[in-house]
Amino acid sequence: MKKLSFILCLALLLPVLCIFASASGYGAPTQKLIITHVNVNYAGYEGTGVIYTKSDDGTIAQYGSFDWWNAVSFQWSSANKCFEVVEVKTEMGSSKGDMQIPENGFVYCCNVGNDYPALYQSDPNTYAAYADANAYPDYTTPAVSDSCSYAASLKSGDKVYLYGADLLNATVSTNGKVWYKEDFKSDAFIKIGEKESGSTAYSPETATEQEPVIKLGINAINGAVNEGQAMLLTPSYGDTISVKGNNYGWCRVAVFDWSEKDDAYVLVSINDSVGNNVAKNAVIPKNGFAVSVNTGNDYPALGIPNKPNYVNETAKFFYNTIPSLEIGTKVYLEGIDLAKNTFEYEGNISKYYSSEFTTKAFIKICETKPEGCYEPDKSKIIPAPEFDSEEKLHTVSDVTVSWKASEGAKEYYVAVYDSTVNTNGTALVSTKTTETSVTLSADDLTVGSKYTVNVYAIGENGASVMAVKDFIVCSERALDSQFRDMKIVAFGDSITAWKGWVSMLYGELGCEVINSGVGGDTTVHALKRIDKDVIAYNPDLVIVNFGMNDQAVDTSSGKNLTPIDQYEANYRTIIEKIQETGSKIILVAVHDVCDSKYGGGAPAYNLKDDEGVGYVDRYNEVVKRLAEEYKLGFLDINTLAEDKLETIILDGIHLNTEGQAHYCKWISDYCFEYIANAEDVSSESPEASEDSSAENESNVPVDANGGMTPGQIAITAAIMFVVISVIGVMFIKIVIKNKKKI
């Protein structure tokens, strides 16, 4: 009887327990939608609830197509002092990229995500690519799943309130952990219907704009390289970061020096290349510091339970931020004392990678100087060396760089780097000297490469900040090339954006090439930024290379990120907008994916269509056809690269050092051929041009922009039609008049 009574009581209590359990959750019971991120590209963010507050064209298209997401737009109501639902889109497999972000409003997109380990376990053969649980985890969580279901039930006009999110400053309040992990907690949410008791809802009428601040945390100082560390390296550590034998192969390194002009520390060099053989030897300035960062491994997830999970948000965020930093960026130190070699933290320092440790030391990126930030002893800073010459180009020969003696200097520290890819790349020189010059042997220099000289003076009781000079080693043809006075822009995705061939073109063409590449971009993104990243420069020549991401396949929908007909339409618009500036244009084909280096059949970038033809080839056919139609330059780099993929590709897609050099040579050679051909044709007589046009069957155009554009052809045809019509009418009138006479 007692058992029966207990079971009955438990049965009665269960509904009550469920109500209390869901009270702090999401979905219909609580009328809440979880917010995990703000303004992120949907790719790679499965199982999230994201708000979008701003975009280049007022839609969410620049962030993705959102085919398999629920999307809801909200508009602020001044009358009701809340947000109201404007539009709801829930059809799966249908693009929602055209959804507008309302003025004084936002768009909320949520996606349940996939449980990849479960997919792999259910059918290992079909889902073999998802065997790596670290790369393809279980993105499903009750908070987001419940939010997705509830979002789909919303109706136009529903009143909502926003908490823990700031639309004006594009921030959301979360605990910063990985969103699909159990310990993730978000204080940002959308409440439907009624206000949240005890909390203040966001209002665009009272919101104030705040200066953006990026805080990069430190969790180690002056130690040996270990996993999951954002390590601060002070001048006490040594002259260079490698002085104690660490090679920092899997670390990204950034160097900061004090700037008297900016009254702040500034970023002076970066090396974001990683790998077994990518040793670093960056200088640690006497009045500055260096930072070495790596993310480490999650060993339990890799099946190695006797080692910890070194992945932590402090190091991970710093590591991911380094590539986006720009030389000259101002930073300030909080909770860090370089003179004492200390930083502030709470908890167990030996557990720097775990929840037992919290850093209170930050490198802050902001414009306004914070109160109480650390500064060097300015009384010990002596004058910096001044270089004797700012000459930029040198042909391959011994190069001597000299500087004026600094007042109070006893000696100088000199470091010279091959900075073609990274500003503190391979070290050619790293030494102290009493001389005021350094000579680099021609044997150590390479055509197309960039070199950076760092020098600081050392005195009796102090040192100077670093003086920095770079120069380019150029080919003989670059010195007097027709490109010397040209403005050239390279417009593309990560194949362009990754430091390498674009900067190397300086040494082959004789002029700096503006790098307008952005990693992850498709032609959709290109159209959003073409005005500021290309047109605004009023270029003489634009090298365009898009398609690698357009042809990639969204693994959730099985569709190309940009359908091929849309790709062609986008490319046409890109071409026509550039042509309006009068610029010459060279279209560059996309190289194939190197399967052996792309993870053995991983999805997205190495797929074929139903006819067994690679998407890369299909999309390249479009580019070649457009080049012929518009009479533009076309470089079939895929054919040039087809027998070299194994040696020039780093990770299946991107170029290694050798690949960057090949690209530079292929593109520069084509540029000279292209311009020479255009000039030869323009200098010919009309008769000669007509006679030779039929013989020109190479992929170099007869004239870059010399042929009539489609618009010119249409106008000419219209004029001819009118003239012929007038003549025809006159002829008919004459015939009729003559008949009457007869």
pLDDT in tens, 103-118: 899 999 999 999 989 9
Q: How much is the average pLDDT of 651-680?
A: 86
Q: Do 535 and 574 belong to one domain?
A: yes
Q: Do 602 and 684 belong to one domain?
A: yes
Q: Which of 252, 257, 359 is nearest to 313 (CA)?
A: 359
Among 474, 502, 537, identify where a domain stops: 474
Is the pTM higher than 0.75? The answer reads: no
CATH number of the CATH domain containing 607: 3.40.50.1110
Q: Do 499 and 603 belong to one domain?
A: yes
Cβ neighbours of 438 (radius 10 Å): 20
Please check whether residue 8 lies inside any domain of the structure.
no
* Owning domain of residue 116: 22-192
Q: Do 374 and 412 belong to one domain?
A: no
**Backbone φ and ψ of 461, nearest 5°:** -125, 10
Please check whether residue 616 lies inside any domain of the structure.
yes
Q: Report how far residue 105's alpha carbon sits from residue 98's, in angstroms, rounded to the nearest whole number.
A: 16
Q: Do 400 and 528 belong to one domain?
A: no
Contact 291, 318 (CB under 8 A): yes
Q: What percent of the chain has pLDDT over 70?
A: 87
pLDDT score recorded for residue 720:
54
Q: pLDDT, tens digit, for every residue of 602-621?
A: 467 878 888 888 899 999 99
**pLDDT-based confidence at 706, cuts 50/70/90?**
very low
Q: Do 484 and 462 belong to one domain?
A: no
Give the total number of structural domains in the chain: 5
Q: Do 491 and 596 belong to one domain?
A: yes
Q: pLDDT, tens digit, for every residue of 436-456?
A: 999 999 999 988 888 999 999
Q: pLDDT, tens digit, for every residue of 26-44?
A: 999 999 999 999 998 877 7
Contact 346, 219 (CB under 8 A): no
Q: How much is the average pLDDT of 368-376?
A: 94
| Residue 312 predicted with pLDDT over 60 | yes
Please check whether residue 150 lies inside any domain of the structure.
yes
Contact 222, 239 (CB under 8 A): no
Q: Do 250 and 172 belong to one domain?
A: no
Q: pLDDT, tens digit, for every residue of 330-370?
A: 999 999 999 999 999 999 999 999 989 999 999 999 989 99
Q: Among 7-21, 243-257, 315-329, 344-358, which stretch is predicted with the lowest mean pLDDT?
A: 7-21
Q: Do 184 and 154 belong to one domain?
A: yes
| Residue 133 predicted with pLDDT over 60 | yes
pLDDT score recorded for residue 213:
87
Please check whether residue 281 lies inside any domain of the structure.
yes
pLDDT score recorded for residue 5:
44
Positive or negative CA dihedral for 549, 550, 551, 555?
positive
Q: Report how far residue 205's alpha carbon sits from residue 189's, in angstroms, rounded to the nearest whole number.
A: 19
Please check whether residue 187 lies inside any domain of the structure.
yes
Q: pLDDT, tens digit, for every residue of 48-76?
A: 999 999 888 889 988 888 989 999 999 99
Q: Report how far residue 575's alpha carbon sits from residue 704's, in angstroms, rounded to the nearest whole number.
A: 12
Contact 362, 217 (CB under 8 A): yes
pLDDT score recorded for residue 431:
94
pLDDT score recorded for residue 717:
52
Please check whether residue 11 lies inside any domain of the structure.
no
pLDDT score recorded for residue 395:
87
Q: Do 517 and 540 belong to one domain?
A: yes
**pLDDT-based confidence at 698, cuts 50/70/90?**
very low
Among 337, 364, 380, identify where a domain stops: 380
Among 422, 447, 474, identify where a domain stops: 474
Cβ neighbours of 239 (radius 10 Å): 18
**pLDDT-based confidence at 679, cuts 50/70/90?**
low
| Residue 689 predicted with pLDDT over 80 | no
The distance in angstroms from the start CA to the end CA of the chain is 128
| Residue 148 predicted with pLDDT over 90 | yes
Please check whether residue 111 lies inside any domain of the structure.
yes
Q: How much is the average pLDDT of 565-581?
A: 96
Please check whether residue 317 lies inside any domain of the structure.
yes
Q: At what angle do helices 564-579 and 523-533 cross, to 10 degrees?
A: 10
pLDDT score recorded for residue 741:
40
**pLDDT-based confidence at 20, cuts 50/70/90?**
very low
CATH number of the CATH domain containing 459: 2.60.40.10
| Residue 278 predicted with pLDDT over 90 | no
pLDDT score recorded for residue 400:
94
Q: Among 47-51, 83-87, 651-655, which stretch is predicted with the lowest mean pLDDT?
A: 651-655
| Residue 704 predicted with pLDDT over 60 | no
pLDDT score recorded for residue 523:
94
Q: Do 685 and 716 belong to one domain?
A: no
pLDDT score recorded for residue 21:
39
Q: Do 629 and 540 belong to one domain?
A: yes
